[in-house]
Chain A
Amino acid sequence: MVTKILIITLVAVILCGELLRLYSFSKKNKQTTLAVIKRQNSLHYLDFLTSESLKSQESIENAFSKYLNYLRKTISWKYHSLWRLISEQQVVTIRFTGGLPEWYMGELGRELLIKVGDASIGRAVATKQPVTINVAEEDPRFTNLKTYGTRAQYRSLSCYPLVGKHRTLGGFCAYGKDINMFTLHDIKFLLTCANLYAIVVENMLFDKYLFLRTHHTKDRP
């Protein structure tokens, strides 16, 4: 009887061990598959962004709401925002958002002018380097994030400068709903997006200037 129990226990232990191995490996495989999908989506988004911006003759507002919403759908960070640098005052102000609540754009767009060097976006613009915050509510560098993060329901964020050929044009932020959302891959990808956004904004401004100049010259008597 004792032998039988021992044998059954042994069988059960071995089978459980094997199942555990299978489970842990399939979990690893799932993570790898997700990593592949994320990279495929990243490449797809970069193609979408560059192709659309070269084709499009839309206004900056329409074009960027499309680019940011598509980024949200493809890569699935919770929110995105694009900030403009007001050069004379050396402040940044929010211009477009992808998925952020209405009040965020309303309140910050009207009232909030962030000094270059202050807050995460101001620091990214000043240093021309990405600034990533892994736990928004606990970061000692940027205390106001606790208020905004709780209200807008984001827990981590990553900010990037939009560096044009002649000067820095503003910044770009991505927000995640969990802590520690941004991997090295994500940061590199978002930095690429920010570089491309800067090119797109600059091209749009040049096009607008050229259009106005041509029409102004034509209108002259």
Chain B
Amino acid sequence: MPLIIIVLITILSAVAFVELVLSKLRSNRRKAIKHIEILDNQLEIVEALSYIPSSKIGSLTDKINELAQIFFRQQRCVAISLISTGNIFQEHARVLRCFPDKRSERDQQLDSLEEYLLSQVNEEESKGKTEKLFIVDSLEGTTLKESSRSKHRIAIIKPLDYQTKRMGCVIFFSESETPMSPEERDFLSSVGNIISYILRKLEVEVLLTPSEQLTAIDVEW
């Protein structure tokens, strides 16, 4: 009789231990699978965006809008502002704002929120910081709350550079206050860089005629 009890206790404790370890492993795996889905979505967005700079169809506004819509479908982002250092959009606008409801607006003037965010970036950069992304959260100033983009909590600013030249910056307004993981930073930075490619393509179109562009690429490299 005591032997049976000892055996039962041994089996039960072994099973319980294994179940405990398995439940921990299962919950880790569930988290990992969820993480994989997020990462796959991000990679798919970058893949979809990677076709846009080389696409022949559409104006800059159309391309940025297309890019923003692909981005909105997958991300918790409530608005995107693209600010150019020059007048590169049609109608000489400096700012292009895109919203998830496919609405977009062009403006010659930056609004107070955009001015505030740019001043924050300039301030950081004047201190010698060269971050790939600047994050401004709602705690840092009331300017964010005064804006019409009421849902957002934080703004992520990506400066758009080509070689040594500043072409503008893109601001992602997000409603999520959770800290950004390194891969989210990589992802947003890649999205910003693809926008830089689009702006550069537009610059090249002003500097070179279509036949010159063909001559330029028709060389041995």
Smallest CB-CB separation from B219: which chain A residue? A205
Docked-complex contact B190 and A47, CB < 8 angstroms:
yes
Residue A164 is within 8 A (CB to CB) of chain B in the complex = yes
Give the interface segment out of A48-56, A135-143, A171-179. Answer: A48-56
Report Cα–Cα, A188/B39, bound state, in Å: 13
Docked-complex contact A84 and B221, CB < 8 angstroms:
yes
Residue A66 is within 8 A (CB to CB) of chain B in the complex = no
Nearest 4 Cβ contacts at the A-B interface? A50-B193, A209-B216, A195-B50, A39-B39
Report Cα–Cα, A33/B53, bound state, in Å: 33
Q: Which A residues lie within 8 Å of B46 (CB)?
A: 43, 46, 192
Residue A148 is within 8 A (CB to CB) of chain B in the complex = no
Report Cα–Cα, A166/B25, bound state, in Å: 51
> Which residues of A, 54-78, contact B by the 8 Å Cβ criterion?
54-57, 60
Question: Which A residues form the contact surface with B (CB < 8 A)?
Answer: 4, 7, 10-11, 14-15, 18-19, 21-22, 25-26, 28-29, 32-33, 35-36, 39-40, 42-44, 46-47, 50-51, 54-57, 60, 84, 87, 95, 163-167, 169, 185, 188-189, 191-192, 195-196, 198-199, 201-206, 208-210
Residue B62 is within 8 A (CB to CB) of chain A in the complex = no
Q: Which B residues lie within 8 Å of A188 (CB)?
A: 43-44, 47
Q: Could you list 7 examples of A-B contacts with CB < 8 Å? A: A36-B32, A50-B197, A54-B161, A169-B217, A195-B47, A209-B216, A210-B216
Q: Which A residues lie within 8 Å of B139 (CB)?
A: none
Residue B10 is within 8 A (CB to CB) of chain A in the complex = yes
Docked-complex contact A44 and B221, CB < 8 angstroms:
no
Report Cα–Cα, A110/B35, bound state, in Å: 46
> Which residues of B, 179-221, contact A by the 8 Å Cβ criterion?
182-183, 185-187, 189-190, 193-194, 196-197, 200-201, 204, 207-208, 210, 212-221
Type the 1/0 row for B37-55, where 1 means its CB is closer than 8 Å to any CB of A.
0011011101100110111
Q: Which B residues lie within 8 Å of A54 (CB)?
A: 161-163, 193, 196-197
Question: Least Cβ distance of B204 to chain A in Å?
Answer: 5
Docked-complex contact A43 and B43, CB < 8 angstroms:
yes
Docked-complex contact A21 and B18, CB < 8 angstroms:
yes
Docked-complex contact B163 and A57, CB < 8 angstroms:
yes
Smallest CB-CB separation from A184: which chain B residue? B40
Count of residues in B whose CB is under 8 Å from the partner chain: 62
Question: Given A84-B221, A188-B47, A201-B221, do A166 and B32 touch, yes or no (CB 8 Å)?
Answer: no
Docked-complex contact A14 and B217, CB < 8 angstroms:
no
Q: Which B residues lie within 8 Å of A192 (CB)?
A: 43, 46-47, 50
Docked-complex contact B213 and A166, CB < 8 angstroms:
yes
Smallest CB-CB separation from A193: which chain B residue? B50
Smallest CB-CB separation from A45: which chain B residue? B186
Docked-complex contact A203 and B43, CB < 8 angstroms:
no
Smallest CB-CB separation from A169: which chain B residue? B217
Docked-complex contact B197 and A46, CB < 8 angstroms:
no
Docked-complex contact A7 and B7, CB < 8 angstroms:
yes
Q: Which of B14, B32, B213 is A206 in contact with, Cβ under 8 Å?
A: B213
Report Cα–Cα, A144/B39, bound state, in Å: 37
Q: Which of B51, B56, B189 is A51 in contact with, Cβ under 8 Å?
A: B189
Smallest CB-CB separation from A60: which chain B residue? B221
Q: Which A residues lie within 8 Å of B193 (CB)?
A: 47, 50-51, 54
Smallest CB-CB separation from B196: which chain A residue? A54
Docked-complex contact B56 and A165, CB < 8 angstroms:
yes
Type the 1/0 row for B5-16, where 1 means its CB is closer than 8 Å to any CB of A.
001001100110
Q: Which A residues lie within 8 Å of B216 (CB)?
A: 205-206, 208-210
Docked-complex contact B29 and A29, CB < 8 angstroms:
yes
Q: Which A residues lie within 8 Å of B44 (CB)?
A: 188
A84-B220, A210-B208 provided; 18 other pairs, C-beta below 8 A? A22-B18, A29-B32, A36-B35, A39-B39, A43-B43, A54-B193, A54-B197, A95-B221, A166-B217, A169-B217, A191-B47, A195-B54, A196-B50, A199-B53, A203-B197, A206-B208, A206-B213, A209-B212
Q: Which A residues lie within 8 Å of B56 (CB)?
A: 165
Report Cα–Cα, A27/B125, bound state, in Å: 47
Docked-complex contact B28 and A29, CB < 8 angstroms:
yes
